[in-house]
Structure 1
Amino acid sequence: MTHTPTHFTILTGGSRGMGLAMAQQLISKDRTLLCISRQHNPELEAQAREIGAPLLQWQQDLADTTGAAQRLRDWLELLSTSQVLSATLINNAGVLPPIGPIDVCPPEALSNALRVGLEAPMQLTAAFLRATGGWVDQGWRGPRKVLNISSGLGRTAMAAQAPYCAAKAGMDHFTRCSALDEAQSPFGARLVSLAPGVIDTDMQTQLRAGDPAHFPDRDRFVGLKEGGQLSTPQAAAAQVLARLDRANFGDLPVADVRD
């Protein structure tokens, strides 16, 4: 761990897709990046080593929500506030369960989607706010931010997508509630639940492969790909991270990059 004051960023789901693109763009000498994912990514390690950037990668099953949250809280509480210029949590990880009506979704897949997509962000946010709130109590005044990666499907219902839509809708609303809580403090954290647009990732591939008999919107996703309307993970990551740097980050707790 570095002893030079640095920016601390925690990112879940940073081993592939837009999460990987965000991790690649966040790696820098003046930032300690902690990636929490099921898989270790050797490309990230090589990139960080090349420029001497501090990078940590935790292999962690986010379905173990309390275990992941306690691990994060313990790590944050070990940090000295003299090391920290800013602290940011990006809840990006999510799971798309088998596509179809909720009555054909395997119970374990339904539970996993809600744990990883909603409970884990809530638990990690709670741990982050609790630990960094202790820093504030000690007189630390650096900015604290929570960026939750949501989806347009959290705001628009879609057949065959009940678990994913519910997780993202819950993410939006818990962000609203937590933003109200933090607003009660003059040094409260700023929170945003952000929809990143439609991105050419494995999730889109999974949607296009859905059974039309169970997924009436399948052709829409095929059309997005064929029409060249999907953002690259790199372009989407740049848009999302640009929001973190805005002076008005948190003024609107629920937002869309397309606004």
Structure 2
Amino acid sequence: MKTFIITGASNGLGAALAKLCLDRGFRCILVARTINQELYHKTTQTSGRLTFVSADLTETNQLESVMDEIISHLKNDVDELYFINNAGMVEPIKRIGELDIDTFVLQAKLNYLAPAILTDSFIKRTQGYNNKKIVVNISSGAAKNHYEGWGAYCSSKAGLEMFTRVAGIEQQREENPAYVISFSPGVMDTNMQKVIRSANETDFADSARFHTYKEKGMLRSPEFVANILIELLLEPELDNGKFYDIKELIK
């Protein structure tokens, strides 16, 4: 049984991934602060294939316990294991020198520390697992490109990108390696995009461009992106540590 562990699964890409996986008959362990009610109502229809783990991933001192709970829900029939670090936030959208420090710290925890700690914890706890195991850190073009007003977001995603590369190259030397990759979904029609569009041009110089994406229907649906990612993960071979950009995967 393929088992998908997905963080930030209450909405957006996380929820779309969960729905797609369940429709394909896979098992899902969903990690989020709040439960997606549409998914919750599927529990009686999925024959024990859906489990929820309630967690605030900004509470970094609790993440080892969160991973313990996740692992406790794994079944003996797991043949492929996928862990998708999807939770993230774009706030604060402010120029450096004007950042809201409390929000900046929360973002650093959610965008970088949480996926990094959870990746480390996942690898540690699955060292003896001989079958296919993949960690996906949801990334962004902001991991490689700078945008005015996104100093906090760009730096957190860049940090996670480097962490992913190091983890990938280290795993190449392991007897039972995990594959650790980044995936950039591009611009999606999600709540994060609403937050971006709400920023003014004083704080975010590219604000007008993101309004244009919405007005011209250029935002991809989370369902479309989820399908591209799942098809990628079901490929027989992946490059460990690689940054996969959706633009290079769309045929």
TM-score normalised by length of structure 1: 0.90
- CA deviation after TM superposition for structure 1 residue 89, in Å: 0.6
- CA deviation after TM superposition for structure 1 residue 64, in Å: 1.0
Instruction: Indicate whether 1:60 and 2:49 are aligned.
Output: no
Q: CA, structure 1 residues 213+249, in 2 after alignment: closer, same or farther (shift >3 Å)?
A: same
Query: Match of 1:26?
Result: 21
Query: Match of 1:227?
Result: 216
- CA deviation after TM superposition for structure 1 residue 29, in Å: 7.8
- CA deviation after TM superposition for structure 1 residue 68, in Å: 2.2
Contact 2:53 2:70 in 1 (8 A): no
- CA deviation after TM superposition for structure 1 residue 28, in Å: 5.0
Contact 1:145 1:191 in 2 (8 A): yes
Aligned residue type for 1:235 = F
Aligned residue type for 2:115 = P
Aligned residue type for 1:85 = D
Structure 2: runs of 5+ lacking an equivalent: none
Write the deviation string for residues 111-130 of structure 1: whole angstroms up to 9, x where unpaired: 00010001000111111101
Q: CA, structure 1 residues 181+219, in 2 after alignment: closer, same or farther (shift >3 Å)?
A: same
- CA deviation after TM superposition for structure 1 residue 249, in Å: 2.0
Query: Match of 1:131?
Result: 125
Structure 2 CA distance for aligned equivalents of residues 144 and 258 of structure 1: 24
Equivalent residue pairs, number: 248
Structure 2 CA distance for aligned equivalents of residues 217 and 23 of structure 1: 32
Contact 2:166 2:241 in 1 (8 A): no
Q: CA, structure 1 residues 55+201, in 2 after alignment: closer, same or farther (shift >3 Å)?
A: same
Matches within 5 A, 1:63-82: 63-73=58-68, 75-76=70-71, 79=74, 82=76
Which of 165, 173, 193 in structure 1 is aligned with 2:162? 173
Query: Match of 2:112?
Result: 118
- CA deviation after TM superposition for structure 1 residue 8, in Å: 2.2
Contact 1:101 1:162 in 2 (8 A): yes
| Structure 1 residue runs of 4 or more that deviate by more than 6 Å after TM superposition | none
TM-score normalised by length of structure 2: 0.92
Structure 2 CA distance for aligned equivalents of residues 251 and 55 of structure 1: 28
- CA deviation after TM superposition for structure 1 residue 252, in Å: 5.8
Contact 1:9 1:90 in 2 (8 A): yes
Aligned residue type for 2:121 = A
Structure 1: runs of 5+ lacking an equivalent: 1-5
Instruction: Indicate whether 1:107 and 2:101 are aligned.
Output: yes
- CA deviation after TM superposition for structure 1 residue 18, in Å: 1.2
